[in-house]
A and B are shown apart, each in its own frame.
Chain A
Amino acid sequence: MKFSPALVLCLVLESLLVANRGEIARRIIATANQLGVRTIAVYSEADADLPFVREATEAVLIGPAAPADSYLKVDAVLAAAKATGAAAIHPGYGFLSENADFAQSVTDAGLIWVGPSPEAMRSMGDKIAARNRMQAAGVPVAPGTPDPVPDVAAALVAASEIGYPVMVKAAAGGGGIGMAAAYDDEELTAAFETARTRAERFFSSPSILLEKYVPSARHIEVQILGLADGTVVALGERDCSVQRRHQKVAEESPSPAVTPQIRAAILDAAVKAGEAVGYRNAGTVEMLFDTSTGDAWFLEMNTRLQVEHPVTEAVTGLDLVAEQLRIASGEAPSFDPANPPTADGHAIELRVYAEDPKRFLPGPGAITEWVEPVGDGVRVDAGYESGNKVTPFYDPLLAKLIVHGQDRADAIAKARSAVEGFTIVGPKNNLPFFTELLSNDEFVQGDYDTGLISRMRS
């Protein structure tokens, strides 16, 4: 990774512990190393050989492979911070990143939390409370339930008021887990039970909400930064409509579906959303964009750095991790907040997953060969390298391939040759799917929605 020398500055942060693994830990460590910050990796027994462990200044083994015994173990992470004298903790995404109690423990221990306040995290952590809060702040929300839906009977009543199809969601959920669309009473009955079981299992909360489901929607999100002085700025949008199982597979910025007028409206809504909760640091406001009506509705806010943040970095020229560290240190951003950078050219990110390219089922395994593509405008954020073992304990993201072109056609052309130049032997991977996607008419035209992959596989 190469960033502008202007970003190299004297930060208040002497050291940073990265409470994460894989590509995102490596990516955060890269920026911190470049800024002269001492970096501390924490890792599980399963991850000892991964590049992020080696690339940090120091590394601390925090437990066995199972996330509950390592990356999710608050005491172990805090003990590692204490033992190494870390000044700050960056949580990455997933794991403890949206755990407000963890953020509170970090600040209580006298450390800097590279993220928003625990209060802002709490107000956005519950999807029902967040919806209500946003509505009150004048941010448009989809028709849905203002209170948790206690049982199937109540769900059926709510659905008749909202109108089918509806989306069933875990209020404390994320990553598409426990989410299902229902088109009638029978589907809703099944979806409600599944959502509740998963919500309890994955998020320890049975709270469920129902929302209007828009089948031909695009998933568009806005990157915001809450600055040290309280100002909230928006750094353009990302289109994340290429999804399987409600999880993102490819993202791009700018969105081919967003006109300057719509952009102005959604960026304004995102800033309002951030201001309503006194947001600091990097966050993402996710919206559902109904292509048939032009409505954009608030979905949720992710109170952390997002997996797909590199597409915003590519088109704005910013290093968002460096901006996060500046904000956490109480410093001004590297750009003029009155004129935040807008998109220069077009960027696409492809999430290279350890999964078969047809049915998208996980395929862990040992990597015997790993060759990354290189070229102008090509960036690879990888969590693995040749010789590593991809284990079944964590999410299937192997690497992110990011391309930046002068326009969308150029970005697609660069993506095609970069996919061709990427060799992974060992675990199953979805590179062949990207070859298909990059020559799919709907995608190439830019005229697609969240149903794209289902249509490709029907």
Chain B
Amino acid sequence: MAEVRAEMTANVWKVLVKAGDTVADGDTLVILESMKMEIPVIAEEDGTITEVKVAEGDTINEDDVIAVIG
């Protein structure tokens, strides 16, 4: 079980996965946007997405949980 957290305050531009999806280390889960820059959030292990905690258009803060990989 691993929580994927935000590294910075940002807006959620794109959510590319949903609960139940299988992901591999290096896959892009979500694309954030902060200060005119797109920041891909990457899975750091193989697994299945158990929960996605953000939706497109959300504003999130540093350390907020974005997704959980089981």
Against A, the Cβ 8 Å flags (1 = close, 0 = not) of B24-61 are: 00000000011111010000000000000000000100
Quick check: is B8 within 8 A (CB to CB) of the other chain?
yes
Interface size on B (CB < 8 Å)?
13
Once the chains bind, are B9 and A175 in contact (CB under 8 Å)?
Answer: no
Residues on the B chain within 8 Å of A361, using CB: 7-8, 37, 39
Residues on the A chain within 8 Å of B11, using CB: 392-393
Alpha-carbon distance A365/B9, docked complex (angstroms): 8
Quick check: is B67 within 8 A (CB to CB) of the other chain?
no
Quick check: is B66 within 8 A (CB to CB) of the other chain?
no
Nearest residue (CB) in A for B33 is A392
Quick check: is B69 within 8 A (CB to CB) of the other chain?
no
Quick check: is A317 within 8 A (CB to CB) of the other chain?
no
Interface size on A (CB < 8 Å)?
17
In whole Å, how far is A91's beta carbon from the nearest beta carbon of chain B?
17
Once the chains bind, are A394 and B35 in contact (CB under 8 Å)?
Answer: yes
Residues on the B chain within 8 Å of A428, using CB: 8
Once the chains bind, are B36 and A364 in contact (CB under 8 Å)?
Answer: no
Residues on the B chain within 8 Å of A278, using CB: none
Residues on the A chain within 8 Å of B8, using CB: 361-364, 392, 428
Residues on the B chain within 8 Å of A392, using CB: 8-11, 33-35, 59
Alpha-carbon distance A203/B9, docked complex (angstroms): 24
Counting chain A CB atoms within 10 Å of each CB, the highest count among B8, B11, B35, B62 belongs to B35
Interface residues of B (CB under 8 A from A): 7-11, 33-37, 39, 59, 62
Can you report 6 residue pairs joining A to B where beta carbons are below 8 Å apart? A364-B8, A364-B9, A392-B11, A392-B33, A393-B35, A395-B35
Interface residues of A (CB under 8 A from B): 175, 177, 245, 354-355, 361-365, 391-396, 428
A361-B39, A392-B11, A392-B59 are known contacts; what are 13 more A-B pairs with Cβ within 8 Å? Answer: A354-B35, A355-B35, A362-B10, A363-B8, A364-B8, A364-B34, A365-B62, A392-B8, A392-B10, A393-B11, A395-B36, A396-B35, A396-B36
